[in-house]
Amino acid sequence: MKKLKVLMFGWEFPPFNSGGLGVACYGLTKALAKQGVEVIFVLPKKINCSADFCRIIFADENPVDAEKIISAAYLTPDQYGKVTRQLFMGARGLVDEVVRYGLLARQIAEREDFDIIHSHDWLCYPAGIAAKEVSGKPLVAHIHATEFDRTGGTGVNQQVYAIEKQGFETADRITAVSDFTRQKVVEYYGINPAKVKVVHNALERERSVQNFETILNLSGLKEKFKIVLFLGRLTLQKGPDYFLRAAAKVLEKSPDVYFIMAGSGDMEAQLINQSIDLGIADRVIFTGFLRDQNLARVYQMADLYVMPSVSEPFGLTALEALGHGTPVIISKQSGVSEVIKNCLRVDFWDINQMAGKILAVLNYPVLKNTLKENGAGEVEKITWDNSAVACLNIYNEILS
Amino acid sequence: MPSVCLYLQTHQPFRLKNYSVFDIGGDDDYFDQQRNYDYLARITRKSYLRTNKILLDLIRQHQGHFKIAFGLSGVLLEQLEKHFPEVIGGFQELVKTGCCEILAETYHHSLAYLYSPEEFKAQIALHRRKIKSLFGYSPKAFRNTELMLSNEMARAVEEMGYKTILGEGADYILGWRSPNYVYKINGAPKIKALLRNYKLSDDISFRFSTRDWSEWPLTAEKFAAWVRGIHGHGDLINLFMDYETFGEHQWEETGIFEFLKNLPGEILKYPENNFQNPSDVIKLYKPAGELDFPHIVTWADTERDLSAWLGNKMQQEALNKIYSLETQIKKNKNERILEQWRKLQTSDHFYYMCVKWFADGDVHKYFSPYDSPYDAFIVFMNIFNDLKLRLA
């Protein structure tokens, strides 16, 4: 049987990832390769990454070639001028970068041989759409997070929304990382529910660990204190401010607790100030962005991982924490709560409930151990292989 | 000559408040009055009033040939007395006909037998007192929470003077033998055991409305024919189930009330059939043999064991903790604290902590007021800690 070839557009790839998107792309691509699918993975810029299970193309590697495809055959002279300016004047913001990626994608789609196109998030939708236009091949739009998740519903960027909507409308199928996200695509973008399928994320266990930084050492802390972890971008969507308020409540009852905030983001300064205002600055540690060994270390050191997201399309970190044997409290407003039962669930806005459950895990060792053991068993079964099979079924459905 | 022995178990717990760690030391009221009232109001409307009326009509219609046995937990009776005395009135009328038997049990529908012989006896005595005061009746047959039975337990119950004990007709106890006879129990020579025919009982309580069941729809006529089929190789058919089967587990729309109305008539159509209560049955039939219950057998799940109540560490921890307070509580002589402690022993609290249902389907979830078994544990332990604090 002929190998199915997928032209996949991504934005980031480990080790150069800022969040779950790159991790999910890696996991899915690797598992698809195991299913006998040939993936050509496209990234917008040349970075130092490699994988033995797929061919990686960097869209900006031969920018001169790009001129060839942006020819009069496709564009009016006005458009041509605009496009070339966009291409060669350098990036002026994320939306421009995304548009530029779309233009470069044309050339790749012309050159490469493939059966289906698969694009991840709005960042790659213009690329996917362009590839579809050039090749006439079907497009799968994968949605990891909508603009509504990132912004918490206020201050939605209209340009981004328009790109997302166009991507959903042009796509032959949409794959959402959870039913939670699927509902958003249907409700907020007016997409026919029959077109949107759920492919849950999973936990990648074999990713090679390379050490880039010095190892975080928390063992001194661990001896005397309990550790509660927040890990994610320090941004509205992830609810770090609710975490700090719950932390203050916890410390009222139990003074022997440290709270670690691992991640970076636009709210960092605000959060540091908030911890001072709450009078708990001496009990909150901001580690900055962690990866690889430090990431593993911080998960393992923690007695509990809390994911208080305001809106979490999936929430891979919850699986990572469980994979490291750390029990989790997750927001009910998350996709991962569809696949994990052995966890505690909270409404992100209910600070008392969150603090109460944090205290319960810290104070009732039987609870902590049961969550840990049952959660580890459960996460074991959530594999990228299952997700890849679901994805493959969707490919076959479109192609048949 | 098969006798049908129909026994309905009626119970509702005092469900707990969503008690937070921040309530410890500041709130000594543990039970969710509103939620308990709401549950009870719904079940009273959907099940108790309707079913009691049907049962009373059936007894009158069949002029003493229809008989029925009840288990009425003390914690349920207490709630009914307060909120729905008309349901108590209905049971009183039923008992007055002389066609009903009430079984002895632990007042608090507890697992006390497993943890404290003294507390076990105390709760049975409390229940006897309650039944005596409401119905002027003294139970002679016994059934323990969740139909628990073991050799040792049968012996303890026998020593308390009970003549009959109910249990589960579990395959792994019966082996080749049939549940349709009276049995003796190894080590308890005087007491007689009646074992649930789980197949025929579950046909009504679980499968009645299951559309992909090959016997659906189940009619009274069909069921009566199955009962008659036992003629010649069985003395009795023990149909033990939750009272709430009628109208709550099986909704009115399933036709369960019509089934109940027609069942006695259809069964009594065959002259060799009759209805008998547990204490009658042991006088009518001789034991067919002796059975060995070396460990506790229950009527729950496929395992027919206690794993739904103490299968995981949270359940074991919560039970151990609550019973660890016994000596202190009894020394303390505070009636309110004693009563609260007893209500915390109700088996439902531990059932809600069961994680088996993640794999085993949704039976447990249907009955649980909690989002997850972990939440059930947290609430229970928070309350335990408050109770403990009040003793210090």
Q: What is the pLDDT of residues A35-61, one digit of tens each?
A: 999 999 999 988 888 899 999 999 988
Q: Tell me if B236 sits within 8 A of B4, measured CB to CB.
A: yes
CB A370 to CB B378 under 8 A? Answer: no
Overall domain count for chain B: 2
Looking up residue A45, the CATH number of its domain turns out to be 3.40.50.2000
Q: Tell me if B190 sits within 8 A of B158, measured CB to CB.
A: yes
> Range with the lowest mean pLDDT among A68-82, A87-101, A311-325?
A68-82
A155: pLDDT strictly greater than 50: yes
Name which residue leads in pLDDT, B72 or A86. Answer: B72
Assess whether A372 and A264 both reside in one domain. yes
Structure confidence at residue A20 (pLDDT): 82
A89: pLDDT strictly greater than 80: no
Assess whether B211 and B342 both reside in one domain. no
Is B299 within a domain?
no
Is A357 within a domain?
yes
Taking CA–CA distances from A374, the nearest residue in chain B reads B355
CA distance A361 to chain B (A): 9
Is A213 within a domain?
no
User: A370 — contact with chain B (CB < 8 Å)?
Assistant: yes
Stretches where chain B sits below pLDDT 70 are 1, 357-366
Assess whether A354 and A369 both reside in one domain. yes
A212: pLDDT strictly greater than 80: no
Q: Name the residue range of residue B359's domain.
A: 307-391
A145: pLDDT strictly greater than 60: yes
Q: Which of A138, A128, A191, A125 is nearest to A164 (CA)?
A: A125
Assess whether A304 and A191 both reside in one domain. no
- Backbone phi and psi for residue B194, each to the nearest 5 degrees, phi listed first: -110, 125
Structure confidence at residue B359 (pLDDT): 58
Q: Name the residue range of residue A243's domain.
A: 219-380
- Mean pLDDT calculated for residue range A364-389: 95
Assess whether A61 and A99 both reside in one domain. yes
In a 3-state reduction of DSSP, which class is residue A115? Answer: coil
Q: What is the mean pLDDT of chain A?
A: 89
Structure confidence at residue A208 (pLDDT): 45
pLDDT-derived band at A220, boundaries 50, 70, 90: confident
Identify the bridge partners of residue B359 per DSSP, sorted by sequence position: none
A201: pLDDT strictly greater than 60: yes
Assess whether B173 and B314 both reside in one domain. no
Overall domain count for chain A: 2
- Mean pLDDT calculated for residue range A57-68: 68
Give chain B positions within 8 Å (CB) of A341. 358, 372
Assess whether A334 and A391 both reside in one domain. no
Non-local CB neighbours of A387 within 8 Å, separated by 6+ positions: A27, A28, A31, A199, A200, A201, A202
Non-local CB neighbours of A248 within 8 Å, separated by 6+ positions: A278, A279, A280
Q: What is the pLDDT of residues A103-123, one digit of tens each?
A: 999 999 999 999 999 999 999
Structure confidence at residue B46 (pLDDT): 96
How many Å apart are CA A372 and CA A366, to the nearest integer? Answer: 10
Is B129 within a domain?
yes
CB B374 to CB A371 under 8 A? Answer: yes
Structure confidence at residue A18 (pLDDT): 75
Q: What is the pLDDT of residues A273-296, one digit of tens each?
A: 999 999 999 999 999 998 888 888
Assess whether B325 and B258 both reside in one domain. no
Q: Which of A117, A100, A98 is nearest to A160 (CA)?
A: A98
Q: Tell me if A56 sits within 8 A of A50, measured CB to CB.
A: yes
Assess whether A375 and A388 both reside in one domain. no
Q: Give the residue numbers in B contacting A (CB under 8 Å), as ranges.
A: 20-22, 312-314, 317, 355, 358, 371-372, 374-375, 377-378, 381-382
CA distance A344 to chain B (A): 7
Q: pTM to 2 decimals? A: 0.90
Tokens of A149: 């998740």
Looking up residue B101, the CATH number of its domain turns out to be 3.20.110.20
Taking CA–CA distances from B378, the nearest residue in chain A reads A360
pLDDT-derived band at A85, boundaries 50, 70, 90: low
Assess whether B318 and B285 both reside in one domain. no
A205: pLDDT strictly greater than 80: no
Assess whether A193 and A121 both reside in one domain. yes
pLDDT-derived band at A237, boundaries 50, 70, 90: very high
Name which residue leads in pLDDT, A350 or A206. Answer: A350
Assess whether B225 and B148 both reside in one domain. yes
Assess whether B116 and B246 both reside in one domain. yes
Assess whether B55 and B157 both reside in one domain. yes
CB B22 to CB A253 under 8 A? Answer: yes
Is B155 within a domain?
yes
Assess whether B356 and B276 both reside in one domain. no
Catalytic residues of B: 146
CB A364 to CB B378 under 8 A? Answer: yes
Assess whether B158 and B63 both reside in one domain. yes
User: A347 — contact with chain B (CB < 8 Å)?
Assistant: no
Give chain B positions within 8 Å (CB) of A367. 314, 374, 377-378, 381
pLDDT-derived band at A63, boundaries 50, 70, 90: low
Is B73 within a domain?
yes
Assess whether A161 and A259 both reside in one domain. no
